[in-house]
Amino acid sequence: MVRVRRRRSGGRIIEDEERRNRTGVFEDRADAGRVLARMLEEHAGSNAQVMAVPAGGVPVGAEVAMRLGLALDVAIVSKITLPWNTEVGYGAVAFDGTVRVHRALAAAVGLTEEQIRGGIERTTARVERRVRRLRGDKPWPDLREKPVIVVDDGLASGFTMLVALEALRGKGADRLVVAVPTAPGDTVARLAERADSVYCANVREGTPFAVADAYHEWTDLCEDDVAGILANRASETR
**Could you tell me the domains of the chain?**
2-75+143-233 (3.40.50.2020), 79-133 (no CATH)
Q: Are 188 and 5 contacting, i.e. CB atoms less than 8 angstroms apart?
A: no
pLDDT of the residue at 8: 54
pTM score of the predicted model: 0.94
pLDDT of the residue at 7: 59
pLDDT of the residue at 9: 60
pLDDT < 50: residue spans in the chain: none
In 135-222, which ranges are continuous DSSP H helix? 159-170, 185-192
Under DSSP, the state recorded for 32 is H
Q: How far apart are CA 172 and CA 5, in angstroms?
A: 27
Q: How far apart are CA 155 and CA 225, in angstroms?
A: 21
Q: How far apart are CA 128 and CA 125, in angstroms?
A: 5
Render the burial of 2-14: b for 16+ CB within 10 Å, e for the rest: eeeeeeeebbebb
Calculate the alpha carbon distances from 208 to 144, 157, 183, 184 in Å: 38, 12, 12, 10
Strand partners of residue 31: none
How wide is the angle at C-alpha 68 spanned by C-alphas 234 and 168, nearest 5°?
70
In 110-196, which ranges are continuous DSSP H helix? 113-134, 159-170, 185-192
pLDDT in tens, 195-227: 999 999 999 998 889 999 999 999 999 999 999
